[in-house]
Amino acid sequence: MAIVADYRNLSVIVPAFNEEGGVQQTLEALKKNLPNAEIILVDDCSTDNTPEMAKKVDGVHILRHRFNRGYGAALKSGMVSSNREHIAWFDADGEHRTEDLQAMFKLLEERSLGAIIGRRQVKGQQKVRFYGKLVLRLWARLLGLRLDRDLNCGLRVFHKEAILPYLNMLPDRFSASTTSTMIMLEKKYPIEFFDIRTNPRIGHSKVRLRHGFETILNIFRISMIFAPLRIYGTLGAVLVVIGFVYGLGMALTVDKGFPAFALVVLMAGFFLLAIGAIADQISRWQLSAAGSHSLDLRRTPLAEPDGKH
Ligand SMILES: Nc1nc2c(ncn2[C@@H]2O[C@H](COP(=O)(O)OP(=O)(O)OP(=O)(O)O)[C@@H](O)[C@H]2O)c(=O)[nH]1
Ligand SMILES: [Mg+2]
């Protein structure tokens, strides 16, 4: 007898804003292919027929924001009301395939991972988006993070303990996906990227250029929360080295002692290092409170060493 996979351990959160074209089909596919999963549609105060279309599918929990709050806010509302151990994010526009979600969930459970993040193919992507994503990756790299190809794919699955303690760090808008990737990496949770295929979206895209700028700002914000010493420390060390080398060079070659300018640069470097050390203490203190529920996850025997991220 064939064993039918059971998804009673999983909540699927579907954020939707004006997705009357794709929402019914998306929910039907989830109901059919993920039996017993809890499916939560968060309608972000759509102005079209999204709620009516969603109601046509039985057994879906529908939450509705009273005003439009954004993609990240919708995901947070859904996650807070989820009752299962694992949480998936799944777009309402028909773009994601349930086969991919099934495979990702299986892997997450089998390997006790903190998260699995979808990785879309670069081929066929709009040029603008391709370069936008490149800028995001370079920016993250500059801040000391080696990120994989796709930071902000909307299809991902988490162990609840890996994401719930950080809900207040997730922004309300589109950068919630990039931010959640960074949180997983900064917390050194065992995670994997998983190659997925996507269908063309049904209906209009909601992504705008300003969302890219918001994301750049949020990458910086998260780095400051998790690893302030990396930013202040690098900048401080660079200034100290410049000040010292320049000052010493001038003192030895031009016979007028250590120049004042070099001293100022040196001092600025030391100040930045000191600020970094204090910020680091504050950050550790804050994060130990936020992440204390997640410690078990880090000790799971199947957890991968995270050196490869
Ligand atoms: N709750 C909520 N969901 C939103 C909002 N904007 C977009 N979404 C949903 O978030 C998901 C992803 O949005 P998309 O516009 O598809 O963004 P994308 O998948 O990155 O890019 P495209 O599919 O190419 O447009 C979809 O299910 C949208 O309905 C919003 O303001 N609030
Ligand atoms: Mg989409």
Ligand with smallest separation from the Cα of 23 = 1
Closest CA to 54 of 29, 36, 27: 27
- The dihedrals phi and psi of 119, each to the nearest 5 degrees, come to -130, 110
Q: Measured between alpha carbons, how far is residue 194 from residues 23, 26, 63, 133, 140 in Å?
A: 24, 21, 29, 18, 20
Cα of 16 from ligand 1 centre, angstroms: 7
pLDDT at 19: 97
Alpha carbons 189 and 176: distance in angstroms, whole number: 18
Ligand 1 environment, Cβ below 6 A = 15-17, 19, 42, 44, 68, 70-71, 74, 91-93, 95, 154, 201, 205-207
> In 3-state terms, what secondary structure has residue 184?
helix
First to last CA, the chain: 41
Ligand with smallest separation from the Cα of 204 = 1
pLDDT at 307: 40
Which residue among 30, 89, 91 is best mutated to probe the pocket of ligand 1, counting the most ligand atoms within 8 A of its Cβ? 91
CB atoms within 10 A of CB 30: 22
pLDDT of 126 above 80: no
- Bridging pattern class, strands 115-119 and 10-16: unpaired
Q: What confidence tens digit (pLDDT) does each residue in 243-280 have? A: 999 999 999 998 788 899 999 999 999 999 999 999 99
CB-facing half-sphere around the CA of 258: CA atoms within 13 A: 10
Cα of 297 from ligand 2 centre, angstroms: 30
pLDDT at 186: 81
Q: What confidence tens digit (pLDDT) does each residue in 70-121 have? A: 999 999 999 999 999 999 999 999 999 999 999 999 999 999 999 999 998 8
Ligand with smallest separation from the Cα of 41 = 1
Ligand 1 atom 9: residue of nearest CA: 16
Cα of 70 from ligand 1 centre, angstroms: 9
Ligand 1 atom 11: residue of nearest CA: 91
Cα of 84 from ligand 1 centre, angstroms: 24
Ligand with smallest separation from the Cα of 133 = 1
Ligand 1 atom 20: residue of nearest CA: 207
Q: What confidence tens digit (pLDDT) does each residue in 146-157 have? A: 666 677 899 999
Which residue among 42, 64, 119, 206 is best mutated to probe the pocket of ligand 1, counting the most ligand atoms within 8 A of its Cβ? 206
Query: What's the whole-number average pLDDT of the chain?
Result: 87
Cα of 66 from ligand 1 centre, angstroms: 18
Cα of 74 from ligand 2 centre, angstroms: 15
Residue of higher predicted confidence among 184 and 293: 184
Query: Of all atoms in ligand 1, which is nearest to the CA of residue 17?
Result: 29
Q: What confidence tens digit (pLDDT) does each residue in 177-195 have? A: 988 988 888 888 899 999 9
pLDDT at 213: 85
Cα of 91 from ligand 2 centre, angstroms: 6
